[in-house]
């Protein structure tokens, strides 16, 4: 068992990692600034555990990070805290530079200082969680491998690419024992209601238009968040130092296919009085610079660490839809947060 300092543990993916890590007997220190995207209810299932601690800390504040390392003496870091919404990065890139780049720099320096003070233990890990968006956009063919050249195209993906480069540099230059992962689009329970999957479910139930950017033909490789959390703990504990692993769901779908699948599930489990939820689909102006296709080649993590996703996108979406139906209090409480329910990212 390891003691893991997890940044961004009150967000969507971070909270899934926190819940899974505690359930497996790891100690967790959840460090989160509690931005608009955070929700402590996401970690309520483990909040009373002796294995769990929370620190409200901003990764832009180096001194605060040093204090957390001294107080908790972690064996490993999983760094997920980030500004994560591409549309918000188009309207206001500054926060993305400060949190995703400077914040990662602070995390690396705080980790390096702590690791050196401890005598550079070889089993310390700095696990950086990144995105497939750093690789740019694919045409109809091909897949991203770990060797695909970086080609980020949005302020968000450029900031994540920068952070990946910093993490590799801290390994090469200072010997910090790092592991990197780049994953595809996640979906699942506790997904903040500004992202596609929850927007579709919530707008459908409210009888509102369901917005699809452009023609809905952008392709993503959909990864169930609980599968991702499992892969992350595996990469942390079994991954080779200095190596990166791509994590995908082996579930490529166009946005339109994904939305239609969600709405078919809703038509089955919560039918409308009349007609189909698909009647609410509305095509809207595309996102500027919208990447056409992402696809992950998962060969490395499958062959070297023995990991594969446990669900198809249809199974994962059914679990997700049922979770949203059963947890309306959770998402209703988030609908009045700034920027939720309005179209962002058209200012370019």
Ligand X SMILES: NC(=O)c1ccc[n+]([C@@H]2O[C@H](COP(=O)([O-])OP(=O)(O)OC[C@H]3O[C@@H](n4cnc5c(N)ncnc54)[C@H](O)[C@@H]3O)[C@@H](O)[C@H]2O)c1
Binding site for ligand X (CB under 6 A): 7-8, 10-14, 32-35, 37-38, 58-60, 80-84, 99, 103, 129, 131, 160, 183, 185-186, 192
Smallest CA-to-CA distance from 18 within 36, 33, 3, 34 is with: 3
Element containing residue 227 per DSSP (H, E): helix 225-238
Nearer to ligand X, 181 or 237 (CB): 181
User: How many CB atoms within 10 Å of residue 339?
Assistant: 15
Nearer to ligand X, 83 or 87 (CB): 83
Supply 98's token pair. Answer: 């400060």
**Residue partners of 72: CB distance under 8 A and separation at least 6:** 3, 5, 29, 53, 55
Supply 76's token pair. Answer: 């490993």
User: How many CB atoms within 10 Å of residue 310?
Assistant: 11
Residue from 32, 58, 114, 156 carrying the catalytic annotation? 156
Q: Does 133 participate in catalysis according to the annotation? A: yes
* Smallest distance, ligand X to C-beta of residue 78, A: 10
For residue 212, what are the β-bridge partners?
283
For Cα atoms 254, 259, 265, give the angle at the middle one, nearest 5 degrees: 130
Burial classification of residue 335, based on how many CB atoms lie within 10 Å of its CB (0-12 exposed, 13-18 middle, 19 or more buried) = exposed
For Cα atoms 279, 12, 230, give the angle at the middle one, nearest 5 degrees: 110
Nearer to ligand X, 195 or 277 (CB): 195
Supply 168's token pair. Answer: 């590799």
Cβ-closest position to ligand X: 11
Q: Does 257 participate in catalysis according to the annotation? A: no
For residue 6, what are the β-bridge partners?
30, 78
Q: Does 109 participate in catalysis according to the annotation? A: no
Nearer to ligand X, 132 or 280 (CB): 132
Nearer to ligand X, 183 or 235 (CB): 183
Residue found by looking up tokens 């800390």 in the block: 57
DSSP 8-state code for residue 311: S
Nearer to ligand X, 98 or 257 (CB): 98
Smallest CA-to-CA distance from 161 within 229, 88, 234, 96 is with: 96
Give the span between the Cα atoms of 206 and 127, in whole angstroms: 40
* Smallest distance, ligand X to C-beta of residue 222, A: 9
Nearer to ligand X, 35 or 276 (CB): 35
Residue found by looking up tokens 């038509």 in the block: 267
CA dist 273 → 38, 262, 276 (Å)? 35, 18, 9
Give the span between the Cα atoms of 240 and 300, in whole angstroms: 11
Residue from 133, 164, 227, 291 carrying the catalytic annotation? 133
Residue positions annotated with a catalytic role = 132-133, 156
């Amino acid at each position: 068992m390891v003691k893991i300092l997890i940044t961004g543990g009150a967000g969507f993916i971070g909270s899934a990692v926190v819940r899974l890590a505690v359930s497996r007997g790891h100690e967790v220190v959840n460090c989160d600034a509690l931005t608009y995207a955070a929700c402590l209810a996401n970690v309520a299932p483990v909040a009373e555990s002796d294995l769990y601690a929370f620190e409200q800390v901003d990764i832009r504040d180096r001194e605060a990070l040093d204090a957390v390392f001294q107080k908790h003496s972690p064996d490993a870091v999983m760094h997920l805290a980030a500004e994560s919404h591409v549309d918000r990065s188009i309207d206001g890139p500054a926060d993305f530079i400060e949190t995703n780049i400077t914040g990662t720099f602070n995390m690396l320096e705080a980790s390096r200082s702590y690791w050196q003070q401890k005598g550079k233990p070889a089993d310390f890990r700095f696990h950086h969680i990144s995105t497939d968006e750093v690789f740019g956009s694919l045409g109809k063919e091909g897949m991203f491998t770990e060797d695909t050249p970086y080609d980020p195209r949005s302020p968000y993906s450029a900031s994540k690419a920068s952070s990946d480069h910093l993490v590799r540099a801290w390994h090469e230059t200072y010997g910090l024992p790092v592991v990197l992962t780049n994953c595809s689009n996640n979906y699942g329970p506790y997904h903040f209601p500004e992202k596609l999957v929850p927007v579709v479910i919530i707008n459908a139930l409210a009888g509102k238009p369901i917005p699809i950017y452009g023609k809905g033909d952008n392709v993503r490789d959909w990864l169930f968040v609980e599968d991702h959390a499992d892969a992350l703990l595996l990469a942390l504990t079994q991954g080779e130092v200095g190596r990166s692993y791509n994590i995908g769901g082996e579930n490529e779908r166009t946005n339109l296919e994904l939305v239609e699948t969600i709405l078919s599930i809703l038509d089955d489990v919560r039918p409308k009085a009349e007609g189909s939820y698909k009647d609410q689909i509305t095509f809207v102006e595309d996102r500027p610079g919208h990447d056409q296709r992402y696809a992950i080649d998962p060969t490395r993590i499958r062959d070297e660490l023995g990991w594969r996703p446990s669900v198809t996108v249809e199974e994962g979406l059914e679990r997700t839809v049922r979770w949203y139906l059963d947890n309306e209090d959770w998402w209703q409480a988030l609908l009045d947060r700034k920027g939720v329910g309005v179209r962002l990212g058209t200012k370019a």
